[in-house]
Each structure stands twice: as structure tokens, then as C-alpha cells.
Chains A and B, each alone.
Chain A
Amino acid sequence: MHELYGLLTGPLAWAAFFVFIGGSLYRLATMLILVHKKEKFIFTYMSWKYSFRSIFHWIIPFATTNWKKHPVLTIVTFAFHICLFLTPLFLLAHIVLWDEAWHISWWSLPDSLADMMTLVVVGACVFYLIRRISLPEVQYVTSASDYVILLIVAAPFVTGFIAYHQWLNYPLFLNLHILSGEIMLVAIPFTRLSHMIFSPFTRAYMGSEFGAVRHAKDW
């Protein structure tokens, strides 16, 4: 177990971050090169003003018609994404690791709050799962990969929660936690989790077309 821990926090952690950052840059670069090669006109239609006008509307809860139409989903989605980002970044246990390895540290979340936020992420995943199974319009376009993605996202939080509370077999769950976190990082650039990378661009493009050409709102 200890050797595995060394492997997971050593070479595999390096590899995961490398693939995550490198893969994201790669996906981004290939997209931009493809635009340059085949749809250069897109650049000429991009507008900073209307890109941000659109992005801002969509990253504010209830600022768009569709967010208003789905209040529960909206609250869950925003809570989910906020907790998904902040919890791993500001978890004390993670910062301690950074500090030990690189002597860098930053502000951390109180553990009890981080605990709650973890539950929010897991709860949201359950919500998404139920939504996928029970709503016909979502079920219809669901494929196996959609469940896998959900699992990939939920796993680090579930295992982290168990490990933090030292339930069951602590070393095992700690290792599972690290492994699943690394899987998630690696999966981001190469699965539909890549919406994290691409969504600002698709939104910005539609925002630009609607703002500058169509003179209409896109929210």
C-alpha cells in the first residue's frame, strides 16, 4: 500500500498533471489551428464585447431564460461546478502536500466546509444521474460514456470523503482517492469533460454572432 502511495503521488501524479495540462493545451491548439486552416472567417466575426456579454450571462445563475426555466437544475449546476473547482484547490490536505513538495501554500477552506462542499458535488452527481435516467429527453441522448463521465467525476469526491473520515480501510481509500483524481485530470481533455476547455469558446462565438451580426440576445 505504501509503495503504491509513493507511485501515485510521485510519477503518476506527474504524469496526470502533464497529460491534463498538455492535453488541454493540445486540444485547444488543435481547435485553433483547425479554425485557422478551415474556418478562418470565425476569427473575423469574434468580438470581445459580445463574447463576454454572452459568457457573463451564462455564468450568472438565473441570468438567462433557460436557467430561469430550470431553477433546481440551475442551483445544482452552479453549486456543483463551484464546489468541483474550489474544493480540491483549497482543501487543506491538498495544500499541505503542495507545501511539503514545493514550499508553496495558500489560503485553505475550513475542513468542515470542504466536507460539505464534497457532499454537494456527490449529491449533484446523484442528481445528474437521476435526471439522466428519468427525463426522457436526456435519456434519449444518453450513451454509456455519459455514465462513465459521471462516475469519473464523482469518484475522487466519494473516495476522498471516505478517506477523510477514515472510514473502512483508510490507506486503500486514500490511494483510490488519489488514483481517481488522477483519472479525472487525464479524462478532462479527452472526454466530454472537455466542455471545461471548449465551452467558453463556443459560447463566445455564438455570442459574437448574435451580438455583432444578428443584433439579438443569445440568452
Chain B
Amino acid sequence: MTEAAKKETPKGLDQGIEVGASSLTGEKIEGVIKSVLDNETGARLKTYVDTCIHCGLCSEACHYYLSHDNDPRYSPVGKVKQTMWEMLRKKGKVSPEFIKKAAVISHTECNLCKRCAMYCPFGIDIAYIMSVVRRIIHRLGVTPLYIQDTAHSHAVTMNQMWVKGDEWPDTLQWQEEEAQDEIPCLRIPLDKEGADIMYSVIAPEPKFQAQLIYQAAVIMDVAGVNWTMPSGIGWDNSDMAMFTGDNELMGRIKRTHYETASRLKVKRIVMGECGHAFRSVYDMGNRWLGWREPPIPIVHAIDFYYELIKSGKIKIAKKYDQPVTLHDPCNVVRGGGLHEKARYVIRAICEELIEMHPNREHNYCCAAGGGVINCGPPYKMTRVHGNKIKAEQLFAAKAKGAKTLVTPCHNCHSGLEDIVHHYEVGLGLKFISDILYEVMEKP
């Protein structure tokens, strides 16, 4: 770290951005912007920018805009104006100050949730434009510190949380032993070649939420699934490189994941309740590696529970009796169409589902997704204040009787937790598996 960086920085300043920007020159900025625009973008960016008629109709799609009392700087097109339009207009000749601002906007004021693509009459994909900005920021080395750290962790350990090689099988063994208190013959089969399913999770599970692995193991065991988990790298399906614009690293991470599944000769990958990981495995990583669709079928937890319940492999002993409301995670609903299956599952395991509005594809993002929460504490309030509208939406669901807020996504969970806490919404938060585990018939 440079001397300047060691000095006290005013609150809210991001070391990754500050230190990164301190070594930028006009020449370097111009070179990188040109290189990204010329070599890495094509008809999409050009057509989107040329076609946008500056009508502002995308504004109301964005929770940041709505939460800031319709401040136009937070509208989707407003964010493009402050970043990409400027870069194009000045042909890359922008200042380090500008780059710092662009880093903050693209990384912390847009969740890449693509809700705005459903509101623009032309289907202009502003999330894509923001990812191009992030790519430029990445290549300039100005990515916010916390998310860059997770990307480093991916690069070194092939998981997001610096989980060490032995920590991982240790955690699995620990959870296996815990679960054996409940079901004595339960196993978490490691590296079982030819199993039907490889189960993968995101690194925060072994790090902070090991009980989720426990619950998954119980569900698998009771349903009699032929499953396995890898003991070495490739077990983590998360991907922050996808959000920092480090596409090369994203490719490495996803290749490791798919290759692990293919080495184990499994038929499918089933993944835990995570949204961004689903996006990375189902939609983004495969494309980077040249696959139209994932090389191995990807099944999100919602889909998997749906299958288990529908086929009767899991039976419900007694439904969860508190009224629940469901937050549709962008990446699996707007990104994977799992909304009706999620409702099937919820109705099967809960007495009552109270819909929040808007819902399904139109649900508001949690404001944690797209890597925003991974930009860490400096931006916590950006997320929380930027999603006042979510609190209002939750209060309305609560007024109709909802007691528990269910969301099948890790990012949504953490983001909503902060919102529920800050605005004192007073809803309990759960994953689907928390409830499923509680209400299913067990031996």
C-alpha cells in the first residue's frame, strides 16, 4: 500500500477505488476504455446506445430510483448517462475522478437485476451496459476493495471465502456427524463417481451457515437421492469475478465447477438456494466457455425441491403454520423462470402464502445482488437507503398478515436482513430449506 493510502481516509471511502485510482493516468484510462470498447464490445452496446431515445421510461423499473424519491441520477438511463455516455462522448478521455464515480455507480448503485429491460420499450439491457463499465473498472484496477478480495479468493482457492483445502472436507464431516445424531446412517458421500447428482454450494455456507449443508444432507438422505459432493476444488458454485468484470477468472471458476461434475460422472448439478451462483452456472459462465447452455444440466434448489415434493420422495408431516411471503430472487425468477415452482413448493410446505406486490418477474431486487453486498460495509447504507421501496413492499405484505419472509437466495437473504433490521419491518427470514427441513417427514 502506498503512503497516501495508509493515511486515514474519510468515512465511506473505498480503498480499492482510492488506491487504484491514485495510479491512473489519462493515457491509461483512454487506452483501457478504447480497448474494451473496440475489442470486447460490438453491436449490442452500439445499438443500445444509438437506439435509446432518452425517454426515461425505464426509470420506474429501478428500486434505487424509486427509493430516492425519483431522483433521476438513480434511473437506469441516468446511470448510463453518468458513465457510458460520457466515456463514449469523450472517446475515453475521462479523468480519474470520473472513473472513481463510475466505479461507485456501476458497482454499488446497480444490481444488474435487469428489471429495467422489462420496462424499456426497446428492451435495452442497461445491466449489460453497467457490466461493460465494470469491465473497464476492472481493467483499470479500480474495483471496490471487498469484492476484489473475494475475486482474489476465487483466484487463489477456487472458492469465494478463502476456505482452505482441509477446512472444506472437515466441515462436511462435521455436518455429517451432527446429522448422524438425527439420522444415524446418514452420509455426505464425497467424490462418489457415477452418482446422479453433484450438490454444490456457495462458500459462505461452509464458512458461516454450515447448518444449511446439514439440512441439505437430511433432505437428500430422506429422499433417497444418489448424490455426492466433491472433496476438492469445484465445490463452490459462487462467482464474484462475474460481477467484477474479471471474465477470464469467471471462466476458470466455472470450468473448474463443470469439470468437477464431469470428473464425477454425475448426471446433474443441483445447487443450494443461491441466485447469483445460478446466474453464473446457468447463464454466464457457460457462455464465456463457449457453451450455449450449461454442459451439465443445472438444477436450482427450488426446482429440486419441487421435484422431490411432486414425486412424493419428500412428504410433509405438518405444514409450517405461520403465514409467509415470498421474495422472488431476480436471478432465479427473472433469470430462470422458477417463480411458479417456488410457489408450488411454498404452498406444499406452508399453510398460507401471502403475495407481496409486485411479485414474480416484476419483484423488486433486494439491492444486495449483482455483487453490491460484496462491495462490503462502506456501501451498506447505499443498499439499505437505495431500497426503501422494498421495505414499503414488505410492510404491505406484513399488513396483510405475513409473519415470515422466505427467499431462496443467499444474497437476497443478507440484503433483506439489513432492510428488515434498518426499517424495523419485523419479519422473520427463512430459506425454503429451513422450512422444508422442519416440516418434512423424517424417519
Contact = CB atoms under 8 A, between A and B. Distances in A.
Interface class of chain A by DSSP:
helix
Interface stretch (A7-15, A92-100, A194-202): A194-202
B52 A192 contact: yes
B123 A136 contact: no
A1 interface: no
A141 interface: yes
A35 interface: yes
A199 B121 contact: yes
A210 B56 CA distance: 22
Interface stretch (B184-192, B334-342, B381-389, B406-414): B334-342
Interface stretch (B2-10, B14-22, B39-47, B158-166): B39-47
A202 B123 contact: yes
Nearest to A139: B72
Interface stretch (B73-81, B170-178, B227-235, B367-375): B73-81
A166 interface: no
Contacts of A199: 51, 121-122
B43 A38 contact: yes
B98 interface: no
B65 interface: yes
B75 to A, nearest CB: 5
Contact of A141 (B81, B121, B287, B333): B81
Contacts of B211: none
Contact-size category for B: 35 or more
A203 B78 contact: no
Given A44-B292, A205-B123, A39 B53 contact: no
Contacts of B53: 146, 192, 195
Contacts of A192: 50-54
Interface in A160-213: 192, 194-195, 198-199, 201-203, 205-207, 210, 213
B48 A138 contact: no
A137 B47 contact: no
Nearest to A203: B123
A72 interface: no
23 contacts: A31-B47, A34-B42, A35-B43, A38-B41, A38-B43, A39-B43, A54-B123, A58-B123, A66-B57, A137-B59, A138-B55, A143-B54, A192-B51, A192-B54, A198-B51, A203-B122, A206-B123, A210-B118, A214-B334, A214-B335, A214-B336, A218-B117, A218-B118
Q: What are the 9 A-B residue pairs with the smallest beta carbon separation, nearest first?
A: A215-B337, A206-B123, A38-B42, A140-B72, A34-B43, A138-B56, A137-B56, A137-B59, A137-B72
Given A42-B44, A66-B121, 18 more contacts: A32-B43, A35-B43, A38-B41, A42-B43, A45-B292, A58-B121, A65-B119, A66-B118, A136-B72, A137-B65, A140-B73, A143-B54, A199-B121, A202-B51, A210-B118, A216-B336, A216-B339, A218-B117
